[in-house]
Each structure stands twice: as structure tokens, then as C-alpha cells.
């Protein structure tokens, strides 16, 4: 187990304390989530670099929106089947 010490502006520390964010379990969750988001972003950026290197043209925004909507609809459909 590692102990860390941070410095925060008084107002930020007070607000975080009042919100219950300075508890070890909450901080662990916040940091774990941030690490997952960072890894996902890094993965997407590495994929983007490979797409550019392969000369693949980007999809127009309307097509991207349609794909996202279709994926969400499929996810909702699958979640309803359980």
C-alpha cells in the first residue's frame, strides 16, 4: 500500500471533503477511472495514427452519428433481452 500526500487550494480541499471525495476508497475509484479513460484515449489515438498512415478517408460526421446511434440501439436491444 502506498501513502500519498497532495497539496490543494483550501477551497478545493474543503469542497472535496464535504463531497466525501477525500476518502481512500473514493480516491482509488477516481484514479482508477481516470487511468482507464487515459488508456482508452491513448488506444484511440494510436488507432487514429494507423488509419492516417493507411490512407483511409475519415467518415463524414452524419455517417459517424448514424453508426453511434445504431450501436446504442443494438446495446439497448441486447440489454432488453436479458
Query: Which stretch, 50-54, 55-59, 66-70, has highest mean pLDDT?
Result: 66-70
Q: Where are the beta strands (DSSP E) in the chain?
A: none
Extract the C-alpha cell encoding 15. 469542497
Domain boundary assignment for the chain: 21-80
75 touches 69 (CB < 8 A):
no
Give the tens place of pLDDT for each residue, 25-38.
999 999 999 999 99
Q: Note the pTM of the prediction, 2 decimals.
A: 0.60
> pLDDT above 90 covers what percent of the chain?
77
Residue 13 burial (10 A CB sphere; 0-12, 13-18, 19+)? middle
What was the pLDDT predicted at 35? 98
16 touches 8 (CB < 8 A):
yes
What was the pLDDT predicted at 49? 84
Residue 77 has pLDDT above 80, yes or no: yes
Amino acid at each position: 500500500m502506498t501513502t500519498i500526500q497532495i497539496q490543494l487550494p483550501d477551497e478545493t480541499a474543503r469542497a472535496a471533503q464535504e463531497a466525501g471525495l477525500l476518502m481512500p476508497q473514493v480516491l482509488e475509484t477516481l484514479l482508477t477511472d481516470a487511468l482507464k479513460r487515459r488508456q482508452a484515449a491513448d488506444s484511440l489515438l494510436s488507432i487514429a495514427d494507423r488509419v492516417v498512415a493507411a490512407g483511409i478517408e475519415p467518415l463524414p460526421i452524419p455517417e459517424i452519428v448514424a453508426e453511434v446511434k445504431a450501436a446504442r440501439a443494438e446495446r439497448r436491444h441486447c440489454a432488453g433481452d436479458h
